[in-house]
Structures are given as C-alpha cells and as structure tokens.
Amino acid sequence: MKLSQIAKDYDIKITNDINISGLNDLINAKETEITFLHDIKYKEQLKQTKASAVFVTKEFSNLCPKTSVPIVCENPYIAMAKTTKLFSKPLYKTTGAKPNIDKTTKLKENTALGFDTTIGKGSVIFDGVFIGDDVFIGNNCIIYPNVSIYSGTTIGDDCIIHAGTVIGSDGFGFANDGGKYIKIHHNGVVKIANDVEIGSNTSIDKAVFGATIIENGVRIDNLVHIAHNCHIGKGVIITGQCGFAGSSKLGDYVVIGAQSGVSGHLSIAPYTTISARSGVTKTIKNSHKQYTGFPIMEHKIWLKIQSKIQKLLPKDKR
C-alpha cells in the first residue's frame, strides 16, 4: 500500500511515495513500515525510529527523524487503530499448497487443516482440532480435542496442548473514538518454542504486530489468558486462572501462583515467585524474590503486616 493512500485523510502531501508493508511499534518498525506515538513517555523512542512515517500530534511532530514523515493527527492511537484494518489479512486462504503432514503423524477424525501448513514427525492430532493456514507444528507434539490454532502460528517440538485451548485469536484491543469502539486488527502471530505444555481452555492471543512469544520449557495450567504481545520467558510456570494484560514480559523461570493478574506493559525479573491471588501492577526489577498481595509487596513484608493485623483483633476472633 502506498504511503499517500494512508496519508490522504490527514491532508499530508507525500513527495516520496513509497510502499508501506505494515504497522509496527516505534522501536521495531522497519523502513517500509508506519508507526505511531500515543504516549509522551515513548518520545525518546520516536527520535530513534526507522519507520517511514509516524502518526503523531503536532506538538511532537518536530521530534520525528528526518527519514520519517510526520502524519499529524489529533489522536494517533485512533489513527493507528483505523490503519490496522488496511493491513489485515483475509480470514482464510482460498488457494495454496496442501498441508505437509509427515507420514508418522496421526490425524484423528474431523480435523480441519488450512493451506500451507506443516506438521512434523510423530505428532498426534485429536478429533475436532482446527489448524489454520500457514501454521507450523514441530515433531512429537500432542494436540488434544477441540483445540483451535489460528493462521500463522508456530509451535515447536515436543509440545502438548490440551483440549479446548485457543492459540492465535485476536487480542482485546479497541480505540475509543467519541464513544465508538474502533477495532484494532491484530496482524501479528503467536510463536511457541519447544517443550511447552498448555492446559485446557487456555487462550493465547496473537500480537497486534510482531509476535506473542512463549519460550522453551514453559508450563501453563488450565484457564489461563495470555494477551497480545506478551513474552513468556524460558521455564516459566503459570498456574490456573491467571491473566496477563498486553505486552507484559515474564523473565526466565518466573512462577505465577493461581488466580494472579499481571498488568500490561511491565516486566517481571527472572526467578521471581508471585503468590496466589496477587496483582502485579508495576515492573519487578529484582530477581530471586517472592511477592504477595494486591498490590504486591515482598512476601516477608506481607507476612509481618498480616501478623500485626491479627494482633489488632480480639483473641476470640483470630
């Protein structure tokens, strides 16, 4: 798509009308992509972006690099949301190569396979599984009944995905335009590495752009939600009924207790333990510590507070 086609609604004259291949964030945008600045805290990233064009307010348009065309608009976030639709792919392919399934892999009945999909050696795909277009599944995987794997998903070797799980669905992304919710089309993918086990009825959303990533050796329990653009580090353990907002990042070997929640756009340091029913609302920078409560605090401090609260109660109420 030509840059002039995108810019025409913003009364911007384009002298170097290049092809735009897609959208991306400020840091990861390539020279053929367009990006946006919606929050002042990312203005330093704006100065470094390689994007060909940037949706930006007039106030910060002078911060755009010389190589980036500022597309000045009132609300860059809404502009980005509307533009995602221009780059969304068709829901499914009507032509393509037949699925490439290794002869040692076993497919049960009523399995739906999209075009240009590959499944490696020794895998087992149970009844009622849906696998979209352009999916890659490695060797020795087990996909249990009624799992849905959306187009573009990559799954490594030795993975187990239990019944009812959905991988690659759209994230929960909308821009509020005067009371009307504009859908943000999620044009990214999900990438799952090797030796990952995912429990039943879990949802892993695809990225807005780029990828939602699950690293090697991760263990995910039942009824877990992982939102768009999350990055789950190597060897992480996530127990049941946990939720992760968009772009949250878990370091290697983090353990998350049941019914805990993690806010978006924050990081948890490697080897951190989050106790059950805790709420992580800020970045955790120090490794090898345990945190508890909502909002979280170090576990040993939480224990002291609980002890003091108990002492405030009458003895017959403790």
Q: Could you list the active site residues?
A: 228
Say how far apart CA 231 and CA 213 lie, in whole Å: 5
Q: Is 257 helix (H, G, I), strand (E, B) or coil?
A: coil
Residue 163 C-alpha from the chain's centroid: 21
Q: Is 52 helix (H, G, I), strand (E, B) or coil?
A: coil
- DSSP structure string for 266-293: -EE-TT-EE-TT-EE-S-B--SS-EEET
Say how far apart CA 21 and CA 123 lie, in whole Å: 35
Runs of H (alpha helix) within the chain: 3-7, 43-48, 76-84, 299-312
Say how far apart CA 81 and CA 83 lie, in whole Å: 5
The CA-based dihedral angle spanning residues 120, 124, 130, 134, taken in that order and rounded to the nearest 10 degrees:
0
Phi, psi of 288 (to 5 degrees): 60, 35
- Burial of 186-219, coded b for 16+ CB within 10 Å and e otherwise, reads bbbbbbbbbbbebbbebbbbbbbbbbbbbbbbbb
